[in-house]
Amino acid sequence: MKLNQKTLCAMAATALLSGTAMAETGFTFYGRANVSVEQQKVGSQTDMVMVDNASRAGVRANRDLADGMSVGAVLEAGTNLTSGSTKTDKLFAREASVALNGGFGQVKLGRMPASVAYFATADYVSNHNHDTGTSSDALYDFLATGSLSNAIGYASPKIGDLKLEAQYGLKKATGTGTSDTTAVNPIALAANYGMGPLQLALGYESAQNPKTPAAVSASQVTARAYYSMGPLGFGGYVQKSSGTNFDRTAYRLSAMYTMGQNEFHVNYGSAGNRASVANTAASQFTLAYNYNLDKQTKVYAMVTKVANKSAAVYTPGGFATTNSSGQDLQSIGAGIRYNF
């Protein structure tokens, strides 16, 4: 959208007149720029590509209220630095929410960035590259993430070392204002518990089975443990998925060793046969190295591979070519990640 001189002057005047109000409200512009150059192999096809690894840009606004309460809002857009475009036609597709905070915890309304169950489990142990791009977790069953529009979220205050979180997505309304009866309300629950160097979590998701377009209910429970011992951190999760033609067990193991500005990462995941159907299993292996230029900037190198059985089609993000059943995926690359 082009702005003429009159519009720009009006915006400047508004900003000057609202200076007092802005001083009472904290604004933060933040984001992540993450691009890699990779040699990707899908089946027998090999390509040299540039990959955007979930780059983003957003703004947070926070304002203190009376009685120890505060209100905040987040508008976050996914950006593609390889093309300069947004990820979707919706500008703030990653998150668009308002939250009220107080001694009761936090109540959030709007579009949620991802499931609290995912953040508590798979994301927590995926230390390399923020679980983005071709080395992201291809085996985790996402049942709520991506469906949490028109959602309500709640996070409890800390109860000792325990924190509880919940999300509930409303059925999308049609153009007539009535409820869409074919939709299933996504639900996500998470419990995080800290025991010093040992961090534990339990996540639960329930929603429409993404593998079948009909409104078939599916759910998953994931348990996570992570232990830190000086420069070494290691852990993983176990996930049990349930539903019509959806039953499956998967696990992921992850380890990270830091030495000065250097990080060494290795992880391995395995997903069993879906609903006991032969050859629907898969595994994933990633070996990576990160060098921290400062607290916000890293350069990294990695090799990752997803091995699909003949009837499996697991695919992490970032691959330029879509795989078919039984095709393996592999990528070797290096990149730059800058959080601001």
Under DSSP, is residue 119 helix (H, G, I), strand (E, B) or coil?
helix
pLDDT of residue 35: 97
Token duo for residue 309 = 């059985």
- Residue 208 pLDDT level (bands cut at 50, 70, 90): low
- Output 176 or 98, whichever has higher pLDDT: 98
Position with higher pLDDT, 5 vs 273: 273
Q: Which residue range forms the structural domain that includes residue 214?
A: 42-52+103-339
In a domain, 300, yes or no: yes
For 294, how many CA atoms within 13 A lie in the half-sphere containing its CB?
4
Residue 34 included in any domain: no
pLDDT at 78 over 60: yes
Q: Tell me whether residue 5 is in a domain.
A: no
Q: Could you tell me if residue 302 is inside a domain?
A: yes
Whole-number Å distance between alpha carbons of 96 and 104? 22
Q: d(Cα 303, Cα 138) in Å, to the nearest integer? A: 14
Closest CA to 106 of 162, 166, 149: 166
Asked whether the predicted pLDDT for residue 141 surpasses 90, the reply is yes
Which residue has better confidence, 155 or 23?
155
In degrees and rounded to multiples of 5, residue 331 shows phi and psi of -145, 140
Residue 217, pLDDT > 90, answer no
| Average pLDDT of span 168-185 | 60
The answer on pLDDT for 101 being more than 70 is yes
pLDDT at 179: 46
Q: What is the pLDDT of residue 239?
A: 98
74-89 burial string, b = 16+ CB within 10 Å, else e?
bbbbbbebeeeebbee
Task: Quote the pLDDT of residue 170.
Answer: 86
pTM: 0.87
The angle subtended at Cα 135 by Cα 130 and Cα 136, nearest 5°, is 55
Q: Flag the least confident range among 22-31, 115-124, 208-217, 273-282.
A: 208-217
- pLDDT of amino acid 183: 62
Angle at 46 between CA 42 and CA 52, to 5 degrees: 80
pLDDT at res. 172:
59
Give the pLDDT score at 75.
Answer: 97
* Per-residue pLDDT, 166: 98
pLDDT score of 11: 36
pLDDT over 70 percentage in the chain: 86
Residue 216 within a domain = yes
- Alpha-carbon gap, residue 57 to 62, rounded angstroms: 17
Residue 3 belongs to a domain: no
DSSP, collapsed to helix, strand or coil, labels residue 54 as coil
- Interstrand relation of 95-102 and 85-86 (parallel, antiparallel or unpaired): unpaired
* pLDDT of residue 12 exceeding 50: no
Asked whether residue 214 is assigned to any structural domain, the reply reads: yes
* Position 2 confidence tier, pLDDT thresholds 50, 70, 90: very low
Would you place residue 108 in the very low, low, confident or very high pLDDT band (cuts 50, 70, 90)?
A: very high
Label residue 219 by pLDDT band (50, 70, 90).
very high
Q: Is the pLDDT of residue 42 over 80?
A: yes
For residue 307, give the CATH number of its domain. Answer: 2.40.160.10
Looking at the 3D structure of the chain, how many domains does it have?
Answer: 1
Q: Is the residue at 219 inside a domain?
A: yes
CB atoms inside a 10 Å sphere around CB 293: 12
> Are the beta carbons of 97 and 110 closer than 8 angstroms?
yes
